[in-house]
Amino acid sequence: MTTANELIDLVRAYNPNSNSDLLRDAYAFGADMHEGQFRHSGEPYFTHPVAVACILAEQQMDDATLITALLHDTIEDTKASFADVETRFGREIADLVDGVTKLTNLQLSSTQTKQAENFRKLFMATSRDLRVTLVKLADRLHNMRTIRSMRDEKQAQKARETMDIYAPLAGRMGMQWMREELEDLSFRVLNPDARSSIIRRFITLQREAGDVVQKITADMRVELEKVSIVAEVSGRAKKPYSVWRKMQEKDKSFSRLADIYGFRIIVATEADCYRVLGAIHQRWRAVPGRFKDYISQPKTNGYRSIHTTVSGRDGKQVEVQIRTREMHEVAETGVAAHWSYKNGERVENRFAVDPVHWIASLTERLDDDQDHDEFLEAVKLEMYTDQVFCFTPKGDVIKLPRGATPIDFAYAIHTRIGSACVGAKVDGIRVPLWTRLKNGQSVEVITAEGQTPQATWIEIAVTGRAKTAIRRSLREEDRGRFVRLGRELARVAFENVGKKATDKALTTAAKAMAISDADELLAQLGSAEITGRDVVRAIYPELEARDGEEVDKNRAVVGLAVGQEQQRGACCQPVPGERILGIAFRGQGVVVHAIDCEALADYEDQPERWVDLHWHEGTHAAVNTVTFDVTITNDSGVLGRICTLIGEQNANISDLKFIDRKPDYFRLLIDVDLRDTEHLHRVMTALEAESNVSSIVRHRDPALSNMRRS
């Protein structure tokens, strides 16, 4: 593990004015908080935050970001609180650590609807301070580098999440090196046979043809010396995943795949870039359609470079990237360039573009009540696609994803223009609306008063912005009809399971499905975006068999010493799925508390008694009693229906006590035996949907702590 002094030396190499005392204090604080914690590999846990800090130091980040890296798991996984971090290191760092904690808790690998909502939260958090995301990306990179110590199924889940979310996010933020490494590390887990096959083919190719990269690099240096251009020339074989993706996209075998080698030429000035391009094209034949000038038309993340593909030595096609040193720094570090230091001073790179503007515009134009699947679609379209650049008749540049149509162009200008579009001219010629636009074309949108979006446009449009606006317009046009139809469908669906589609039931279902209100739920039901079964299941889900081993109730908690007994805290009644810790009592075992239990305040001055615990993974028995504080209307049969609802969720009532009786309502405490947090949520949702239930909350009482300061 890198020591504090070694980390400080690494930072002072690029920032002599770094606050070494604060870095050393953060290192000591993190080491102390994580004392006794270990990774899956058996290493001390603190090796992970230190490795994350080193990754960011290699990107020449500022002190606040490095300290955040050292502390990024303290609020989440140790007894340290936000207030502790703020008191010791200041509000800026406390906010950054808290931001990383919230990103960690998003659980982006969950179901599609939840994933979409978490994507929205991720971008909202990112737009406040991008350093939060930089730390999270470095955290994920180190976890992927050390993923072999995890279970196979966990490896696959993390690798898929990395491939789908974190790798493209790193690329979108301009950190291409990180994107490539994240992709390759994920590829090694998800398809190890394919990766090994590609590596073997590279070895065979090198054995047969010699070191192609070295030979072509030497050829390029000779050509540049002929025209007196001073340049740094380098080359490499492309990453296995990049080669595999090309093979899949082009449906070609490795032997037929061109462009598996990439070369980079770095020069002093922008003018030299074009001189190098001329020298390369004069010596080797350019491949048609494989030229991109990102200097005159930069990418939205600030990336600038000239890309050209030529037929090099022995007819092999190779890609050449040409850029200046400043352009190269942005291409390598992306958004991290905003916090980079050199010789103790913040670096101002004129080519650096802050992606926060892209993120802010994305979150602003996607309404809070937008359908989750539409939001996810829009985000992925923004992140994953390459771009084409087209011009308005006035010469303004409109950037669109590859494959975009005039409809996308119209909505990119303004939603009003998109909705009123009736046709388009490309380079002065009238074209169908489904025409795919190409780089450099001039597009004129033809509009007509009274025109509204057509349903067929959804299939023609490519951008998330256009699709979202079209769907919203279509929904508003038919909303009344869809709401009426949805209400009838809901009535039938609820009657099929012996329930009534009351306004409260529909409101509860909308809340459970993360839909804004009951009317929007009915509109989506009527337009077939969701089914009646989906609505019913949101309130009365059928209990299905869950993956994982059956957990012995006597060893439900992990982290106890051999022979050490444990009992759940009566004050907070923790259940599997909640974060927990224990308080040790001499001769009496350990009492397990939820991490937010108020009774823990009694032991703040006795840290030696705190025990780091977590629940055993698998299916737990329904033996964890939770008390509900329920208020119901005073009508005949209501209590019986409440008990029936709880029984329908496969939950057992172990005790029931009335604590308040009034002419119009009863208030009672109900003890229910549950498995875990999911079971808890299902019971509460079913009760909340019942029209005769005025309120239901989880009852917790710090005064009921099993043992007091003994």
Please name which of 556, 518, 500, 540 lies closest in space to residue 684, comparing C-alpha atoms: 540
- What DSSP string runs through 196-260? HHHHHHHHHHHHHH--HHHHHHHHHHHHHHHTT---EEEEEEPPHHHHHHHHHHHT--GGG----
Q: Which two tokens stand for residue 92?
A: 């800026």
pLDDT score at 118: 54
Question: What single-letter amino acid sits at 130?
Answer: L
pLDDT in tens, 676-705: 888 898 888 888 888 888 889 999 888 877
Neighbours of 617 (CB within 10 A): 14
Picking from 19, 60, 65, the residue whose alpha carbon sits closest to that of residue 342 is 60
Distance CA 503, CA 356 (A): 41
Residue 496 has pLDDT above 80, yes or no: no
pLDDT at 347 over 70: no
Question: What's the one-letter identity of residue 559?
Answer: G
How does residue 138 score in pLDDT terms, banded at 50, 70 and 90?
very high
Mean pLDDT over 397-419 rounds to 88
State CA 340 to chain mean position distance: 24
Are 4-189 and 193-346 equal in CATH topology? Answer: no
Token readout for 452 is 């509204």
Give the highest mean pLDDT range of 106-115, 192-201, 440-449: 440-449
> What pLDDT sits at residue 386?
59
Half-sphere exposure of 186 (CA within 13 A, CB side): 23
More confident position, 260 or 485: 485
Distance of CA 414 to the CA centre of its chain: 29
Catalytic hit among 76, 219, 519, 598: 76
Taking Cα atoms as reference points, which of 579, 536, 585 lies closest to residue 557? 579
Check whether 74 has a pLDDT greater than 80.
Answer: yes
Euclidean distance between CA atoms 294 and 307, whole angstroms: 8
The region, left, alpha or beta by phi > 0 then psi within -120 to 50, assigned to residue 182 is alpha
Residue 38: CA count within 13 A, CB half-sphere: 7
Checking if the pLDDT of 111 tops 50, the result is no
Residue 544 pLDDT: 39
Across the range 379-400, mean pLDDT stands at: 70
Higher pLDDT, 359 or 236: 236
Give the pLDDT band of residue 266 (cuts 50, 70, 90).
Answer: very high
**DSSP structural state of residue 561:** P
Largest Cα span, the chain: 99
Does residue 555 have a pLDDT over 90? Answer: no
In whole angstroms, what is the distance from residue 462 CA to residue 474 CA?
17
CB 96 within 8 A of CB 119: no
Instruction: Answer yes or no: is pLDDT of 541 > 60.
Output: yes
- The answer on pLDDT for 364 being more than 60 is no
Domain 4-189 sits in CATH 1.10.3210.10? yes
Query: For the sheet containing 421-426, what is the strand order?
Result: 429-431, 421-426, 443-447
Please tell me the distance from the alpha carbon of residue 540 to that of residue 509, in angstroms, as a whole number. Answer: 9
pLDDT at 383 (0 to 100): 54
Residue 27 confidence (pLDDT): 94
Q: Is the pLDDT of residue 369 over 50?
A: no
Amino acid letter at 216? I
* pLDDT of 343 strictly over 70: no
Q: pLDDT (tens digit, 9 = 90+) per residue, 167-222? A: 887 887 778 889 889 999 999 998 888 888 888 877 776 666 567 788 889 999 99
d(CA 614, CA 427): 64
371 is an active site residue: no
Q: Is the pLDDT of residue 9 over 70?
A: yes
Which pLDDT belongs to residue 110? 46
Residue 367: what pLDDT? 47
Determine the angle formed by the axes of helices 518-526 and 464-495, rounding to 10 degrees.
90
CA distance 217 to 290: 20
Q: How many CA atoms lie within 13 A of 76 on its CB side?
A: 18
Mean pLDDT of the chain: 82
User: Which residues sit opposite 389 in a β-bridge?
Assistant: 399
pLDDT of residue 543: 35
Q: How far is CA 265 from CA 132, 269, 365, 436, in A?
A: 33, 12, 39, 33
The one-letter amino acid at 423 = G
Per-residue tokens: 164 = 């789908």
CB 22: neighbour CB atoms within 10 A? 17
Identify the weakest region by mean pLDDT among 9-18, 71-80, 356-365: 356-365
Q: Provide CATH code, domain 552-710.
A: 3.30.70.260
Domain boundaries, the chain: 4-189, 193-346, 552-710
Give the type of residue at 341: Y
Q: What is the mean pLDDT of residues 60-77?
A: 90
Portion of the chain with pLDDT greater than 70, in percent? 83
Task: For 539, list phi and psi in degrees, rounded to 5.
Answer: -105, -40
Gap between the Cα atoms of 104 and 102, Å rounded = 5
According to the model, what pLDDT value does residue 220 have? Answer: 92
- Here the contacts of 214-221 (C-beta below 8 Å, separation 24 or greater) are 215/313, 216/261, 216/263, 216/312, 216/313, 216/316, 216/318, 217/263, 219/283, 219/312, 219/313, 220/263, 220/265, 220/280, 220/320
Residue 358 has pLDDT above 60, yes or no: no
Left, alpha or beta for 320 (phi > 0: left; psi -120 to 50: alpha)? beta
CA distance 315 to 285: 9
CB 176 within 8 A of CB 330: no
Instruction: Provide the token pair at 662.
Output: 């009034």
β-pair partners for 660: 667
Residue 256 has pLDDT above 60, yes or no: no
Give residue 500's pLDDT: 87
Q: For residue 350, which phi and psi values (nearest 5 degrees)?
A: -65, -15
585-597 tens-digit pLDDT: 877 789 999 988 8
- In the block, tokens 């771009």 appear at 387
Q: Which of 62, 63, 77, 382 is catalytic?
A: 77
367 noted as active-site residue: no
Whether pLDDT at 140 is above 90: yes
Single pTM value for the model: 0.54
Instruction: Check pLDDT > 60 for residue 252.
Output: no
pLDDT given for residue 48 in this prediction: 94
* Whether the predicted pLDDT of 374 surpasses 80: no
Q: By percentage, how much of the chain surpasses pLDDT 90?
A: 26
Higher pLDDT, 696 or 107: 696
Average pLDDT in the 237-258 region? 66
Q: Which CATH superfamily is domain 193-346 in?
A: Beta Polymerase, domain 2 (3.30.460.10)
